Structures are given as C-alpha cells and as structure tokens.
Amino acid sequence: MSESSTSSGEGPAPYLSGLVLTGRRVVVVGGGGVAQRRLPRLLETGARIEVISPSITPTIEGLLSNPDLRWIERGYEPGDLADAWYVVVATDDAAVNDQVSAEAEERRIFCVRSDDRSRATAWTPASGQHDHVTIGVLGGGDHRRSAAVRDAILEELRTGALGARDSLDKKPGVYLVGGGPGDPDLITVRGRRLLAEADVVVADRLAPQPLLEELHPDVELIDAAKLPRGRAAQQEEINRILVDRAQQGKVVVRLKGGDPYVFGRGFEEAIACAEAGVPWTVVPGITSAISVPATAGIPVTHRGVTHEFTVVSGHIPPDHPDSLVDWEALARLRGTLVLLMAVENLPKITSTLISYGRPADTPAAAIADGTLPGQRLVSSDLAGIAAAMTEAGVGAPAIVVIGNVLDVAAQVRS
C-alpha cells in the first residue's frame, strides 16, 4: 500500500513488492538503533544476514544466537556487498552511507538508506503481520502517518472488522480462550481475532462481557452461566456443546475469564475434545491472580521483599475433606499469597494461616471487580481482612493478596 502520488511533487510513486529473501544474503551496515529495529523483521524472512559494524547494541548482540545472523566486527569495506540481494545502510556517517549506496547501485542491489530516502533505491514500509497477511505502508516519507495507517489496518483485521468472518484460513474446532481479568482491552490479540471468526461462543459469567456485544449477529452465543441441571451436569453440558458444534464443522470459542487453565476447568474441556477426536487449541489469557493486584498498584513480587508468590484456590475451606491445599506449609512461606475464589471461606482461611504461624499482622488486601470501572480496594491485615471486606460491602469476585509486598505498594499510594 502506498500513499505516494505523482501529483504530490515527490516524483513517481514507488512500486511495492514482497521480497523473498529466504536463504539469500542481506547486508546491514551499521549496528545502532536503526539496525536494531530492522533486524527482527529481516530475521523472520529466513535471510542470511550479515551486520557490518565496529560495534553493535546489546539487543543486536542478543540476536546473534540466531544462526542466520552474523556480525562482522569492523567498518564497511569496498566489496562487502558481493553476492548480496538486499542492503540496509544504517550508519551515522554520511560518507560511509554514500560509499555503500554507490556500491549497491553499481552491483544493482536494492539499498535502503536510513539517513536520506531520496538517495535510496528502496524504502522500508511501516509493516506488520496478522495471521498470514502482511501489511506494508509507505507514507511519502511521513513515517508517523505510515505507522498510523498500518496500525489502523491491523486493528481492523485483529478485531474482525476487516474480513475476519470471510477468512479462508478459518479452522473448525474448539478454541479455549482466556479473556483476561475483565477489562475487554486485556484479552490477547489472538483471542479477539478468534471471537471475530467464531461461529459459536460459549461464554463464562466472568468473561469480558463487552466483547460479546461485538459479536457478529450470526454467531450462536451460549451463556455457560445459565446452563441447567446443576454444577456437575453443567460442565458435562458445556463439554457436550463444544464437541457437538465442532463436529458440525464450526469454529467454537470457549470464552473464559482469566486464563483457561488457572482454576478454570479448561483442561477438562480439552480432554473432552480429545476423547471425541475434536481439534482443540488453548489461547492463554492474562490471569487475574497477577493482573488484578497489578492494576491496584500491588506487585506480587518485589526485589528484596519476596522471592516467590503462591496462587491458591479458596473455593473449599481448609478443614474440608476434599481440600488438596497444605495450609500448614503455606503458612510457613514468607512470600506473597494470592487467593482466588476465597471470599466465602476467607474467615476460615485466615484463621488457619494464623494458627499455623503466619503473623496475624501480615499486610492483606482485597480487590473486587478488578480492572473494571467499579474496582475497589480494601486494606487490612491477615487477622482483619475478612471483617474489613464485610464492613466495606466487598463480595465476590475478589482477589485477596497477603504479604509484605503490600507495604511496598503503600509507599506509592501514600
């Protein structure tokens, strides 16, 4: 895509073409920031890349583990472009840039110049990739405009506004998609794309509800929170629906809150698909165990304060015979404890931790409706957090954080 025009006074419009560089020699002269930005995309092509520069950035040095990238630790010398198919000149020395582009011209090699596009034989577009579609935009030298147009196109592709439902690449099957902690902007790019391509969406109560409003009118939306016949039968019914719709050749998205495998029964659904011979794919999501404290200004780890954090389901009280949690061991840990689904059983959980030795004055906090406009934070200590939540009227869903990282967080809020 080019926004250049012969009427703009900038000369003829460039001819856009996709270069197949796999296995071909590409030379990058210069090892600074410009080269650093260009290399990742060049490496994706499978080209054999040589960086010629007396020095390189630490990031480029880290890329040298790629066998397709080699660093020649010196300045440019005449003859360095022999057998090259494509050249990127990215030094801050105009004289060197002139030498390289002159050799490229003589050898009929297309050459990009970072310092003077008018003296180059190729321009680097603002590019991006979505699925199997590569976008390249040239904005007549206005790099910000090029990037803005590229980003707008990619966003339309990712959200499905541009051709997602008509994609020839749609693959029937079940996609277990983590929707993130609640804010619709926190779903992954792939998760949002799959919602745009879906024929059927089976959604949890804690899945980002605003995303459902964006679904195409033809999408079959199944509310997993309202399936009949109780909890056990409900999961069996969810499994049955996923398998049934996939066997009909449909793209089925199982949209869940957080991450599908963090206390979300996602792998139970994967097993059901596997047993039925239905293809399935997991699309990880941002778990609320980390993201909700983060948005409330609470780090689950902090240098010099904690070397571990533990995520625990509190849906069963400590004294329940079905509990699989070693509460005595948890009480001995010095790191951060994050409790999910623990609002109802929190009084028993806190008293159990204290009885096993966790100090009663350990800082504690609860975050309700995390990442959503109504997010609320209640702070107390381990002994008082349950009562503080009750007094503040904070109920489920809520994340409870216990540990000295809360003292660190308090420094920022004070």
- Which residues participate in catalysis according to the annotation? 204, 226
**Residue labelled with tokens 């199944």:** 222
Q: Distance (Å, rounded) from C-alpha 274 to C-alpha 272?
A: 6
Q: Where are the beta strands (DSSP E) in 60-215?
A: 69-72, 86-89, 110-113, 126-130, 133-137, 173-178, 200-203
CB neighbour class for 329 (10 Å; exposed up to 12, middle 13-18, buried from 19):
exposed
Contacts 24+ apart (CB under 8 A), 163-169: 164/193, 164/196, 164/197, 165/196, 165/197, 165/216, 167/131, 167/197, 169/131, 169/132
8-state DSSP, 224: G
Give yes or no for a contact between 84 and 26, defined as CB atoms under 8 angstroms apart.
yes
Residue 152, phi then psi, degrees to nearest 5: -65, -40
In eight-state DSSP terms, residue 29 is: E
Q: How far is CA 339 from CA 3, 200, 290, 308, 359, in A?
A: 53, 32, 11, 14, 17
The one-character DSSP state at 240 is H
- Please give the backbone phi and psi of residue 378, each rounded to the nearest 5 degrees, phi first: -120, 125
β partners of residue 377: 367
